[in-house]
């Protein structure tokens, strides 16, 4: 049975050391002109632990989960995505929850016709930033199949741990992979030693 094309961004599945998967609190600047979805890779920017959506090649702080805020009229919202350009009530902040532990393992779909090959676990790759959904609040981020490389010096935003152990998932197009954030803003550098720790 072929894999299903259902990109949903990065979904936490476990902690590498057996620890608890926890969220940390960050801020989103009022009127930030970015759409950030649940499962979107994000980066830390500026001060006050602020975040913005990441692009391919950016060093990452973690994965966005949800946000709560008061809009300019004082109405309170709890959402699985940040609406671009949303302005806040004066004196308030948008409080985002982010999975920022460098050793969380995430499930994510691999892009491209070739998808994930049997030789890809242990390799690195960047993200392709997909189009999310304001209906479900979920991200469309995927592993960029075209960037998969086993060269440590080249590295990548993600380290591919394995083919995800989920129902109806196989190597090939639309495969789901378990990954760890490799180029993490809380890690000092991308090294072979850090990559090996994902196993």
Q: Mind listing the pLDDT tens digit for each residue in 120-131?
A: 999 999 999 989
Does residue 143 sit in the same domain as residue 60? no
In this predicted model, what pLDDT tens digit does every residue of 25-40 receive, in sequence order?
A: 999 999 999 999 999 9
| 137 plus 153 within the same structural domain | yes
Residue 1 lies inside a defined structural domain of this protein:
no
Rounded-to-integer distance, Cα 137 and Cα 177, Å: 21
Provide the sign of the torsion angle of the four alpha carbons 13, 15, 18, 24, taken in this order: negative
| 82 and 141 fall within a common domain | no
Tens digits of pLDDT across the chain (199 residues): 589 999 999 999 999 999 899 999 999 999 999 999 999 999 999 888 999 999 998 999 999 999 999 999 999 999 999 999 999 999 999 999 999 999 999 999 999 999 999 999 999 999 999 899 999 999 999 999 999 999 888 889 999 999 999 989 999 999 999 999 999 999 865 544 444 444 3
* Mean residue pLDDT across the chain: 92
Please give the angle made by the CA atoms of 10, 12 and 17, to the nearest 5 degrees: 130
Q: Do 95 and 123 share a domain, yes or no?
A: no
Cβ neighbors of 102 (< 8 A, separation 6 or more) are 180, 181, 184, 186, 187
Instruction: Tell me: do 62 and 106 sit in the same domain.
Output: no
Q: Identify whether residues 127 and 180 lie together within a single domain.
A: yes
Q: Are residues 122 and 187 in the same domain?
A: yes
Contact call for residues 158 and 121 (beta carbons, < 8 A): no
Enclosing domain of residue 138:
11-16+102-196
Whether residue 115 is found in the same domain as residue 192 = yes
Confirm whether 180 is domain-assigned.
yes
Question: pLDDT value at position 47?
Answer: 81
130 shares a domain with 62: no
Are residues 112 and 59 part of one domain? no
Same-domain pairing of 109 and 185: yes
Q: How many domains does the chain have?
A: 2
């Amino acid at each position: 049975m072929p894999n299903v094309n259902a990109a949903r961004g990065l979904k936490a599945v476990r902690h590498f050391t057996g620890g608890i998967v926890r969220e940390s609190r960050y801020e989103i600047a009022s009127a930030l002109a970015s759409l950030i979805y649940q499962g979107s890779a994000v980066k830390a920017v500026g001060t006050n632990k602020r975040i913005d959506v990441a692009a391919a090649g950016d060093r990452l702080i973690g994965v966005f989960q949800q946000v709560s805020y008061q809009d300019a009229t004082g109405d309170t919202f709890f959402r699985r995505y940040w609406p671009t350009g949303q302005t806040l009530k004066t004196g308030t902040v948008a409080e985002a929850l982010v999975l920022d532990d460098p050793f969380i393992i995430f499930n994510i779909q691999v892009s491209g016709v070739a998808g994930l090959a049997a030789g890809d676990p242990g390799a690195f790759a960047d993200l392709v930033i997909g189009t999310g959904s304001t209906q479900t609040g979920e991200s469309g981020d995927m592993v960029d199949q075209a960037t998969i490389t086993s060269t440590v010096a080249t590295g990548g935003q993600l380290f591919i741990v394995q083919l995800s152990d989920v129902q109806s998932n196989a190597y090939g197009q639309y495969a789901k992979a378990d990954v760890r954030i490799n180029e993490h803003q809380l890690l000092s550098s991308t090294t072979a030693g850090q990559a090996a720790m994902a196993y």
